[in-house]
Chains A and B, each alone.
Chain A
Amino acid sequence: MTRSIALSIVALLAVLFIAPLIGSTHIDFTRAFTGQAPDYEILFYARLPRILLAMLAGAALAVTGVLFQCLLRDPLAEPYTLGVSSGASVGAVVAITLGFGASSAASLAGAAAVLTLVLGIAWEGRRLSSFTLLLAGVTMNSMCFAIILFLHNLASLSQSFAISRWLMGGIDAVEYSTLGWLAAAVVPVCILIITRARQWNLMAVGEDWAASRGVPTNLYITLGYVAGAILTGLVTALTGPIGFIGLIVPHALRLRLGADHRALLPCSCLLGAAFLALCDTLARTVLAPTEIPVGVITALCGGPFFIWLLRSKRRSLWL
């Protein structure tokens, strides 16, 4: 457990130090660190904030993925498949159309609204149906997309450009102050969730199982969903919808680490950060100087992975 967490930290640091070196223009480090233009600006105002944003977003999305999978006892749950990311997008697009820019409050409200709706639809008395949950998520995704298209049509040309750019799910260089408040929200929430790993283990088996072993289940259900909505909402407001991070990272890790959340949660958090930063480095270098939105890369990796999971889940269910 300690060893895998240590390895994840090493991997994250490696990405943090190597990713800024890679890019369409070569930069000279002595020049950058002595504050000479343009190397200084490229390193500290273009690449580094972008990598840090990717890391915060990756960590938040991976932790949310583990949380949703645990609370719903469904390996296919994550913010994107449940429609929560789309809800956050609708919030953000509404805010853009009204002229506020992609505001976090609007994304947060959108994420929370869709999460409540999807859970409400899939609720069958005392339990949730995995099947209904995923179908509700898919339906929410298309409905949200329809609302976004409608708003897109109403929007002015500049707003319309802002919306479509944002919707591609991309990571841009942001101000350090923005990074600061995002970190101030994401880091404590992730730490709070990780420290309760023992309880999430029990919740991942079942609510009655957890309750009869001393876990106040209602408190943890609320904590999990509120934390998931906050993490998804805040990140989506800044990056647009980025899918499948919460699916790929935890599942790949479960194959190696097993299901114990004391290893799974911290490693997902750290490697989710490293993975999205890596995807974003690919996004800005593969077709340089053209950039591919990182959401395209994660969806192209994540889509096939999801289908593979769906098939292996079906096998374990019926065979």
Chain B
Amino acid sequence: MSFHAKDLGFNYGLAEATFALPSTGLVAVVGPNGAGKSTLISILAGLRRSYTGSCLYDGKEIRDWRRHDFARQVAFLPQFLRVEFPFTAEQVVFMGRTPHSNGWYDSPEDRTEVDRALEITDADAFRNRDFRSLSGGERQRVILASALAQEPKVLLLDEPATFLDLQHQVAMYRLLATLAGQLLVVAVTHDLNLALRYAHHVLVLDQGRLAAVGAAHAVLTAELITRVFQVQATVNAGWLKVEYDA
């Protein structure tokens, strides 16, 4: 077991969420805009520490974890990263090594991990380019590499595919599904088809409350989608069809 939340709440964004997540697998967090998805993922990432109720990671309340120790367990990928300064892609990935080495110089181990991360995300070709000059898809791969360089047990992603075209969205989810063999991957997404296709578990949020949680195929039913997203939909052979003129 990794995360264990009981009556978890945050301001007006989230209330009475009780759930437990496994220690590996791909978990999709879905819901309409303003349902509390980002709030939930940033609580899990340790970025909102004034939550109410309880949220344990590895048996210990998230707000009680030292940031340094927590960052060795849990990596977080923001939805979008705006960089004002001329960092290279490689330097952005090296930043993921901070929880492991506090010295001035990069250790040989840091280099090995960064090389490995760049290879996994297929970002090696542009490692020396200015991060700001990269395309949306390239940036996302660099950010993912930076998170992998943290050697985390959990990967949290806030809408990892928002700025990607179709081809890259699918490639990103395939990669996440592969990674989910060894890690817990929790991704906020708007794409229910990608969730159905790749996620093992789904958390559905609606107006700050947990509407459903469980195996993807069991949870994402036509009835639930109509209730939560206010659209007519049919689920067919693992794919979702939405009738827009509901």
Name A's B-contacting residues (CB within 8 A): 69, 73-75, 195, 197-199, 201-202, 204-206, 208-209, 211-216, 254, 258-260, 262, 316
Contacts and interface: CB of A to CB of B under 8 A. Distances in A.
Give chain B's interface residue range (CB within 8 Å of chain A).
20 to 34
A75 B87 CA distance: 13
Residue in A69, A198, A202 whose Cβ sees the most chain B Cβ within 10 Å: A198
Interface in B68-127: 68-72, 74-76, 78, 81-88, 91-92, 95-96, 98-99, 102, 104
A211 B87 contact: no
Given A73-B84, A211-B67, 16 more contacts: A69-B85, A201-B91, A202-B95, A202-B98, A204-B87, A205-B95, A206-B78, A208-B76, A209-B78, A211-B46, A212-B71, A214-B67, A214-B69, A214-B98, A216-B68, A262-B104
Nearest to A211: B47
B83 A213 contact: no
Contact of B87 (A195, A215, A258): A258
What 8 pairs between A and B have smallest CB-CB spacing? A214-B71, A259-B85, A214-B99, A212-B76, A214-B68, A259-B87, A213-B98, A259-B86
19 contacts: A74-B84, A75-B84, A75-B85, A199-B98, A202-B98, A204-B85, A208-B42, A209-B81, A211-B67, A212-B45, A213-B96, A213-B98, A214-B70, A214-B72, A214-B98, A215-B98, A254-B85, A254-B86, A316-B132
Contacts of A197: 104
Contacts of A195: 104
A279 to B, nearest CB: 25
Interface of B: 42, 45-47, 67-72, 74-76, 78, 81-88, 91-92, 95-96, 98-99, 102, 104, 132, 150
Contacts of A213: 71, 95-96, 98-99, 150
A258 B95 contact: no
A255 to B, nearest CB: 8
A59 B72 CA distance: 36
B98 A198 contact: yes
